Amino acid sequence: MLCRNPSDYVRETKKDIVPVQRNYDPDLHPFQVAREYTRAMNAVKMERIFARPFICSLDGHRDSVQCLTKHSTQLSLLLSGSCDGEIKLWNVAQRTCQATIPAHDGFVRDICVIPDGTAFYSIGNDKLIKRWSMDNYDAPAMTIVGKHVFTSIDHHYKNSQYATSGENVSLWDEQRAQPLQSFKWGADSHAKVKFNPIETTVLASCAADRSIILYDTRQSVPLRKITLQMNSSSLAWNPLEAFVFTTANEDFNLYSFDIRYLQRPFNIHKDHVAAVIDIDYSPTGKEFVSGSYDKTVRIFAADKGHSRDIYHTKRMQHISCVQWTADNKYVISGSDEMCLRLWKAKASEKLGVIRDREAETLEYNDALKEKFAHFPKIKRIARQRNLPKHVYHAKREHKTIQESQKRHEANARANSKPGSVPFVSERSKVILKEEE
């Protein structure tokens, strides 16, 4: 028998919370899936409606931006160097330029901030390494004259060591004017050197002979060298997985490697339609951002082969540097037309204060989107992006090229002795050789 006591469900005051009686028996809810599907559809449409990732552009450089670094302790501080030798310090929260330092003659190649955030190093085409204090930008705290042009610099995550790349990869101490150690293995020029954020003694460099070389600061020799089909322009270590790094390659792809199995990359990330110039991991290690010569920024899930989002504007030119901010909220790109651009890492995310109930709804919507992600209508809406014309056409062109290559291979296989044209996986095609 049903009986209800009004005192159970009639509110005494306005703020009274009344328990809602529900029966969760699935037989009583025959339209449960249909209702949730509708909600998922609405959620995914809303996501596309609210997807406005671009926040602002930071302009002020008088030449194309060459390098970009986030501060090691402060969230809102950003350093950028341009091709006219200027370094600018930006306060991203206020969207203002804090300081402008005429640092080098010619390009500022790279900047790195020391772990405690009190100083930073810059290198330029003038063969100088300059140390700047955060208190005084008038003159460098220290200047080291190098023997060759440096291309990149990176600081150790714990020690007072830093590494530079150029003709060789050198390891320096903050207290000394001479390198502690220099590694050289075949290549006459290195484009990038990066320290591993977790296993802090390990570092990797991209060399000009299409190779990637691993080092350990405790060893006197490099560890291993792999040669790829084409040159790698940059690389980034995963901040959550010690043995994973991803390289940005000039063959439009990004390759993720496990340093224990270098025979082949464990993932190939495709989507760019021109050489990938820079890459940076999100601090959560689940995603990374890449900037390319095709004037777009793309965001990849670290374990997926294709990008989840593409950012572009009409005015943005070739990207030279990208960074993912340390709070996992924003992405910053620097490009040839002298601007830094600030983007949301999640295009449809609402900025500002979000109340609990709203947050819950957003979480529910996200869960629904994930649950129904494979349904064709929802998938189509979630994936749809309007591409710039040149990207669209280039993409189609590459598709035809790849198809034709595949066709040629299949024809060769069909018209030759069985077994003479073996199947080679895409991933193992990437590596030319692994040298010990």
Which residues make up the interface to another protein (CB under 8 A)?
A: 22, 24, 26, 29, 32-33, 35-37, 39, 73, 75, 157, 197-200, 202, 214, 216, 219-224, 239-243, 259-260, 283-286, 303, 326-329, 360, 363-364, 366-368, 371-372, 374-377, 436
DSSP run (H or E) holding 367: helix 356-371
User: Considering the complex, what minimum distance in angstroms separates the CB of residue 374 from another protein?
Assistant: 4
Instruction: CB nearer to another protein: give 241 or 337.
Output: 241
- Please name which of 425, 409, 378 lies closest in space to residue 48, comparing C-alpha atoms: 378
User: Considering the complex, what minimum distance in angstroms separates the CB of residue 195 from another protein?
Assistant: 10
- Please name which of 244, 209, 215, 245 lies closest in space to residue 228, comparing C-alpha atoms: 209
User: Considering the complex, what minimum distance in angstroms separates the CB of residue 293 from another protein?
Assistant: 28
Instruction: CB nearer to another protein: give 252 or 300.
Output: 300
User: Considering the complex, what minimum distance in angstroms separates the CB of residue 375 from another protein?
Assistant: 6
Instruction: CB nearer to another protein: give 107 or 185.
Output: 185
Classify residue 207 as exposed, middle or buried by CB count within 10 Å of its CB (0-12, 13-18, 19+): buried
C-alpha–C-alpha distance, residues 190 and 307, integer Å:
28
If you count them, how many residues does the chain have?
436
Instruction: CB nearer to another protein: give 221 or 414.
Output: 221
Instruction: CB nearer to another protein: give 142 or 362.
Output: 362
User: Considering the complex, what minimum distance in angstroms separates the CB of residue 380 from another protein?
Assistant: 10
Reduced to 3 states (helix: H, G, I; strand: E, B; else coil), residue 221 is coil
Instruction: CB nearer to another protein: give 141 or 326.
Output: 326
Q: Answer for the pair 265, 232: CB distance below 8 angstroms, yes or no.
A: no
DSSP for 157-168?
A: SSSSEEEEESSS
C-alpha–C-alpha distance, residues 41 and 336, integer Å:
39
Instruction: CB nearer to another protein: give 43 or 191.
Output: 43
C-alpha–C-alpha distance, residues 431 and 228, integer Å:
5
User: Considering the complex, what minimum distance in angstroms separates the CB of residue 311 from another protein?
Assistant: 20
Q: Answer for the pair 124, 146: CB distance below 8 angstroms, yes or no.
A: no
Residue corresponding to tokens 């290690």: 285
User: Considering the complex, what minimum distance in angstroms separates the CB of residue 72 from another protein?
Assistant: 9
